Amino acid sequence: MCGIFGIVRQDNKPVANELLQKAIELVKHRGPDGQDFYTRDHWGFAHGRLAIIDLSKDGVQPMHYKGHVITYNGEIYNYLELRSELQQKGYSFATQSDTEVLLASYDFWGTDCVNHLNGMWAFAIYDPQKNQLFCSRDRFGIKPFYYTIFQKQFCFASEIKQFTSLPNWAAQLNKTMAYEFLIKGYHDHQSATFFQGIHQLKGGHHLLYNLQDHTFQIQAYYQIKKQLSPLPSLTEEEAVALFQEKLLDAIRLRLRSDVSVGTALSGGLDSSAILCGMQELLKKEGQTISPESVSCCFPGSSIDESVFIDAVVEKTGHKNHKVFPSLEQMLADWDKVIWMQDEPIASASVIAQYQVFKTAKDKGLTVMLDGQGADEILAGYEKFYAPLFKSNIKKNPLGAIIDVFRFFYLHQIGPLQALNSVQRFRKKDHLTKIDWLKETWPIDPEHLFTRSADDSLTQTSINLLSEIGMPILLHYEDRNSMAASVESRLPFLDYRLVEFCLNLPDQLKINKARRKHILREAMRPFLPDLVYRRYNKLGFATPQEAWIEEAPERFSKMLEETQQSFPEIFGEKWLPWSGEVLKNKQRVHYPLLWRAISFGRWGRLFLGKEIAKIKA
């Protein structure tokens, strides 16, 4: 829910109300239910509200409580439990909102309040006694928080585009981040952004700003590695029961809402488990209304998941709405999605996801549960097999080799196909870097990001949660849902469930080559058999390759526009090379072509003349 903005003038002059209004108006999609602001001395807060809990005017922000002032984006799912606990400590409440509970929590626990929260958040709290701003972002970075210092002003925002409201501010390219995106596909892996001077507060971090001397410090309050500890000895049956309990409780908390709640259903194991879990919880509460879902389908394509979606619909009897993205719709929405995302997008799936959330809103759904996080914590990707094999080959060589053949069987992969896949994988990194592109754009290697080694199943999960993987997926999820004025909630990123899963033994995640074993077994009573026995992993896929080959001349034109926008990056070899890629259908290079086009379109929106039109 919501959009936030704040500014501190380091010259100690008053903040103009007009500036706050303009900044929050730029993200009206995040807060369509009203905007407000508050100024005091040389600082000010702005807030745009998407009303989810306590729809009355009592929930309006910036909110005041015992002298504290907050602008906050997110949801505290355990706010009822915290409210009861704080009432026992003598606190009283004038609203039914989670915002007031958050303020009272800060008043009682101080900055340690975040360790009592189960939710997603990005907020700034003014503390009059300490004369400081306490800024925080949730453990995994589900909700965004950007900040910058510009012309003696410290500013923070939900979205980067809000900084365009600052007089004289002009976007400048961060070449290192752009390079890593184009060459490696990296995104949101650091505090730096595509914009020079704009940073994001990383998940699990605080920012404390001293309003007296205008200094600030950033601290990590949550590190997943510190939560690792061996679980008590559990049988598989006990572990499965405990997992089911934790997942259903995570879903239960995320059903708390004063507006309609639905879910995104892909037909995969994760989203199906959430929907079936939702229905089971609603039945226990005696409710006869089933949750509604929205699905993305591609009839006639090998990536179409309609058969699995329909199996879930048949099992549950719930109402499902299907979206059918097309090449034409994708091209029409591309620039809008980039504008909402603030940064280039890596694939067409980002646009398809936006269309899912837009459809959800059109169908009257304001809150959507989604399955992000399950693959990262439960070894759902193929990349988890390598560290598992390395570990198992030392303990049980024969068993490890048998599991390799089990993998081939489950995924219907023959030996020659497997060998070809390995060879393509080994060549892919070299092919997609394109040495001549690196030569036209020299970057100091010392400034480039180095991924942590995936040396175990658990470490691979940690790397995906904190480095390359989850951060960009959360970026896409937040901007796409908020672009449609929809709040997305992610049960698999309930910190209690994440910590439990990361401490599980490997065999409960991948068992006899079957990924997400414990999820399958825990939700088996509720899932259709077709989904329970589904072993292929598509992710949120689109027929991007087919679309490129469907309209090569249009993509060629966009590649030419990219070269014209950034001739210093895409030199004289770019167009001949990309033309050959399209002509010969060299699909291994398509991701680079897509990123290049997306980067070019982003550049024209944010770095060129188009931004003047948008700001106007």
Catalytic residue set: 2
Phi-psi map region of 485: left, alpha, beta (phi>0 left; psi -120 to 50 alpha): left
Q: Residues 362, 261: contact at Cβ < 8 Å? A: no
Distance, CA of 202 to CA of 188 (rounded, Å): 9
- Encode 233-269: b = buried (16+ Cβ within 10 Å), e = exposed: eeeeeebbebbbebbbbbbbbbbbeebebbbbbbbbb
Please state the length of the chain. 616
CA nearest neighbour of 498 among 243, 300, 157:
243
Distance, CA of 151 to CA of 166 (rounded, Å): 9
Q: Residues 19, 166: contact at Cβ < 8 Å? A: yes
User: What does the block give as tokens for 137?
Assistant: 């972002």
Beta-carbon contacts of residue 400 (< 8 Å; ≥ 6 apart): 389, 392, 393
- Residue located via tokens 């499902």: 320
CA angle 71, 366, 92 (to 5 degrees): 45
Q: 153-157 and 146-149: which strand pairing?
A: antiparallel
Rg (CA), the chain: 24
Q: Residues 250, 508: contact at Cβ < 8 Å? A: no
Nearest 10 degrees: Cα torsion 477, 480, 482, 486: -80
CA nearest neighbour of 203 among 217, 216, 188, 213:
188
Residue 82, SS3?
A: helix
DSSP single-letter state for residue 139: T
- Residue located via tokens 């929205």: 294
Q: 43-48 and 35-40: which strand pairing?
A: antiparallel
Report the amino acid identity of residue 511. N
CA nearest neighbour of 241 among 500, 541, 586:
500
Report the amino acid identity of residue 138. D
- Residue located via tokens 């290697």: 445
Distance, CA of 219 to CA of 503 (rounded, Å): 25
Q: Residues 301, 543: contact at Cβ < 8 Å? A: yes
Distance, CA of 74 to CA of 53 (rounded, Å): 11
Distance, CA of 387 to CA of 410 (rounded, Å): 19
User: What does the block give as tokens for 284?
Assistant: 């226990």
Distance, CA of 40 to CA of 286 (rounded, Å): 49
In this structure, the number of other CB atoms found within 10 A of the CB of residue 115 comes to 11
- Residue located via tokens 């303009």: 22
Distance, CA of 507 to CA of 438 (rounded, Å): 42
